[in-house]
Each structure stands twice: as structure tokens, then as C-alpha cells.
Amino acid sequence: MRIVIAGGHGQIALRLERLLAARGDEAVGIIRDPQQSEDLRAAGAEPLVLDLESASTEEAAEALRGADAAVFAAGAGPDSGTERKDTVDRGAAVLFADAAERAGVRRHVVVSSMGADPHHPGDEVFDAYLRAKGEADAYVRSRAALAWTVLRPGMLTNDAGTGQVLLQASTGRGPVPRDDVAAVLLELLDTPATAGLTLELISGSVPVTVAVRDIAGN
């Protein structure tokens, strides 16, 4: 498979790229900063320099043409303000969905956040982030041409993955290693029957492959 990943230098994206490369798939990571290219190559991915905050839909679609699936794993980052929550966490996600539709890439997986809600109250930056992610999720889920899956992990950690998770429509809050998020993303890409699902993810006691298989088609 050829998988194009927005936010290709992110911590989850790099882990997913390594997993894809290890099994012989073609991972393409979209990055803004060309200096990050070597990190992607080291992960086994092909870097593609494109700023999704300023790109046109057609430019993004060109990056996606020929892909078997698209993964949106970009984010403005914890040090960004409310403006970039809107331009990246919402705007870039919307652009990427439009571009996938235009490029004819049907399978579309979004890395969102637990608590994402377009109507989330509050004036803090994190409140704006949850609204932006919620608005992006709602937009992606409205696109009939996309076979979308929205994944909402709990509190992300850099602990070593256990391969044991809880994956449900609603899990309650909890932590989850980024390793396990990447492993779930890989399994979701392999499981078309998870299309149309919005799923929460935290650490648990069910092997990743079993957890994805059990939720597929629900």
C-alpha cells in the first residue's frame, strides 16, 4: 500500500511510518520543514514538503494521487495559540479531506483527540483545540465520498507500547502510549470495516489486532 500521512514528522506519524516501512508498504510523510526530511528517510518514509496551512486543495490532491489511504496526523503542537489551532487542527484537516476526495483516495483515517467537540465550552487554548478537532471531525464525517475512521486517543505517553488496548466508541479517559496508537492506526488501515466509526483509545487488556477486529463493522 501507499499511505500518505499529513504531519509526517509528528511522534505518532514517525512510529506509523516505521511500521509501514518494516512490512514493505510505501509511507509518504507530508512535512512543512525540509530539514525534517532525513528523519523521515530514517523511518523508512518518503518526505514530501508541503505546507497544508497555505496549500491549495489541488496542491494537496496532487500529493495524494495514487495513494491507497490518507492519514491525518498533523497538529499545531502544544506551544501554539488559538489561531493555529484553527488553521492546522481544523483548517488543514478540512483541506486534507477535500484533497483526498478530489484525488479519489477513499480510505481516510484521522488522528483526533478524546473530548473533541465543536461545541466544547471555554476560552483557554486547549478549549479552542478541542473545538477545532471537533469541527474537523464533523467535516470529515460529512464527506460521503470518504471511507473515514476517526481515532480519538486518550492522554498520549512515550512509554513503551504494550500492544494491549481498549478501543470502543466510548472508553472513558486514560493514557495510551504513542507506540500503541501507531499500531492501532496500522490495523485500522488494514480493516476497511472500521469505516464510519469514531473510536476512543486507551491502554487496556485486549491485543490490538483483536480490538480492531472486534469493533469492525459495529
- Given a cut of 90, whether residue 135 has pLDDT beyond it is yes
Q: 55-64, 70-79, 98-107: lowest mean pLDDT where?
A: 70-79
Q: How far is CA 79 from CA 30, 52, 75, in A?
A: 21, 18, 11
For cell 510523510, what's the residue?
Answer: 29
Sign of CA dihedral 89, 138, 191, 50: negative
Give dist(CA 215, CA 183) in Å, integer: 15
- What is the pairing mode between strands 206-207 and 164-168? antiparallel
pLDDT, residue 151, reads: 98
Where do we find the cell 473515514? 148
pLDDT at 183: 98
Confidence check: pLDDT of 110 > 80: yes
**Segment 174-183, tens digit of pLDDT:** 999 999 999 9
Centre a 10 Å sphere on the Cβ of residue 200 and count the other Cβ atoms it contains.
23
What are the grid coordinates assigned to 60, written together? 494537496
Q: Which residues of 66-78 are buried (b: 16+ CB within 10 A; e: fewer)?
A: ebebbbbbbbbee
Task: Kindly state the percentage of the chain with pLDDT values over 70.
Answer: 100
Round to whole Å and give the CA distance between 73 and 217: 23
Cell of 68: 491507497
Query: In terms of DSSP bridges, do strands 147-153 and 197-203 run parallel, antiparallel, or are they unpaired?
Result: parallel
Separation CA 130–CA 136 (nearest Å): 10
State the Cα–Cα distance between residues 205 and 38, nearest whole angstrom: 36
Q: Give the per-residue pLDDT at 81.
A: 87
> Contact, 62 vs 39, CB < 8 A?
no
* Three-state secondary-structure class, residue 146: coil
Distance CA 120, CA 137 (A): 13
